[in-house]
Amino acid sequence: MAAIGKRDAHAEVGMVTSGSRLASEAGLAMLKKGGNAVDAAVATALALGVTAPAFSGVGGGGFMHIYIAKTRRSYIIDYRESAPKRATATMFKVDANGEVIGNENSMGVKAPGVPGDFAGLALALKRFGNLPLAEVAQPAVGHAKNGFTVTPLLGRIFQTNIDDALAKFRATPEAGRLMLKPNGTPYAEGERLVQGELGETIERVSKNGTAEFYEGFVADSLERHMKANGGPLRKDDLVAYKPVMRRPVVGSYKGYKLVSMPPPSSGGIALIQLLKLFEGLDLKTKGHNSLETIDLMAKALGRVYKARELVADPDFTEVDARKLTSATFIKGLRSEAYGSAKAGAKRDGSQTTHLSVVDKDHNVVALTESLECFFGSGIVVPGTGVFLNDTMHDFDPVPRRINSIQPGKRPKSSMSPTIFFKDGEPVLVLGSAAGPRIITAVLQVALNVLEHGMDVQSAIAAPRFHHQGGKLIRLETRISEKVQQDLKARGYEISPEGDMNYVFGGVHAITLQDGALHGGADPRRDGAAVGY
């Protein structure tokens, strides 16, 4: 079980919560300097890539949801990684079950998509920020060059080889040089990790502009390495990469308006569908994590996860988000939700991170980023300290399907940075890590706050379950033994997965109530909320 400790915070001016205390403090420092929520979010994201390097970094990508209080508008920046120009629908060999042979889509030089992180963060600052990139990058540079103390979860990832992290370090000399001690052993909790090359890279790019990354020394080193080792990613992929501004998806739940992530993420659509399915149910009376509540939610979840198969990159496939969140479509889901449903596809990984920010003017940012699996592909751009993602793992490796590989395409995601509004004002900001479990994590925390009346930290810490079709329910063992046995009696298969397990998400959320800010951080991760 993760130690809970003091993770929440209460404030009146500004608040930042993320999967790293050091990263949250980096964002708070920007707010105190006069920066806005976007400045703080970018500082936090860059610092997360240093202090929580297993989950995100400048070699990855993500989605940013920005709400500007003055205009009362939400803006979405999609800086998800895309497939290289030389990628093909048949680039990975699959077995009889459609799974990639040799894990080539998750480890090694064929696994990375074109990284979008620096491009997306720079665009956010240019359009909405107050401070220059060089200033907001300073905390990340400092923690990389001077080092930081390895946190409990990061130490566990190093020591127990979760998600093949240690295997990646030992298989790739450049990764091992950076992430193993001189004697070849992994770092442990409490030890100091220094990432000097990464610090130099972030500093150089932040001072001289993102062209250094996409056209300059990073792109040049990447091209040399990929050509030498048979990878498809090239400098011209980085030169051509552009983040995309998208229109959010919008829904409602019992008087609340929610604004969330559009395709290529399936998360916002799924969240709206689920809340509409639950709107006519009195979940509060049925009880939190009761047999009846979990049974009703599981039946709806199975059908909604199946409907995720209709979502893909809208620049390659027509995806009508309004239709998928319409009353007619949800009525169709309702008629099937409480029958049987087959398990949905499970492709996107769980090694992601989320942060939430509110500033003094009640501008808001909800931002979710990822390298995909822990430490991405395990491939480091030589001389830069940058781990490349393994986002090709999120594509369907079988050709001629909605989420199959195409050059320039962005794979489907579950990332769901979401803001709830009441009477036109933001009241709840949240998102999560955990791949397909993002949707169930965000859903449960939102219901814990809005339906069950929990404070934000209690809502995050409460035990969770996950279900996406079929009979299997995965759950934390703090859900009562009686409920588990009763679920079995109703025909479910139960998989207990610890009492507070990182696989159930990393939710970082802020509530705004009566002029005060309340921040919560997930004890399943290493994070903290800070404010002033």
Structure tokens at 446: 């939102």
Q: Which residues contact 391 (CB under 8 A, 6 or more apart)?
A: 60, 61, 80, 81, 111, 112, 113, 370, 372, 411
H helix runs in 172-232, sequence order: 173-179, 196-208, 211-214, 217-229
Give the pLDDT confidence of 111-147 residue by residue, as tens digits: 999 999 999 999 999 999 999 999 999 999 999 999 9
pLDDT for the residue numbered 5: 57
Specify the pairing of strand 15-18 against strand 9-11: unpaired
How many CB atoms are located within 10 Å of the residue 344 CB? 21
Active site residue: 210, 293, 352, 353, which one? 352
Give which of 388, 366, 368 is closest to 378, Cα–Cα: 388
Q: What is the dihedral of CA 380, 381, 386, 391, to 10 degrees?
A: -70
Higher-pLDDT residue of 348 and 212 is 212
How many Cα atoms occupy the beta-carbon half-sphere of 359 within 13 Å? 25
Rounded CA-CA distance 523/470 in Å is 29
Is a pLDDT exceeding 80 seen at residue 340?
Answer: no
Alpha carbons 357 and 45: distance in angstroms, whole number: 11
Question: Is residue 226 over pLDDT 80?
Answer: yes
Among 337-351, 450-464, 472-486, the range scoring the smallest mean pLDDT is 337-351
Q: What global pTM score does this model have?
A: 0.96
Q: In the predicted model, is pLDDT for residue 2 greater than 70? A: no
Task: Give the tokens for residue 198.
Answer: 């990464």
Reply yes or no on whether 325 is catalytic: no
505: phi > 0 → left, psi -120 to 50 → alpha, else beta; which? left
**Could you give the maximum distance between any two Cα atoms of the chain, in Å?**
63
Q: How confident is the model at residue 337 (pLDDT cuts 50, 70, 90)?
A: low
In tens, the pLDDT along 242-260 reads: 999 999 999 999 999 999 9
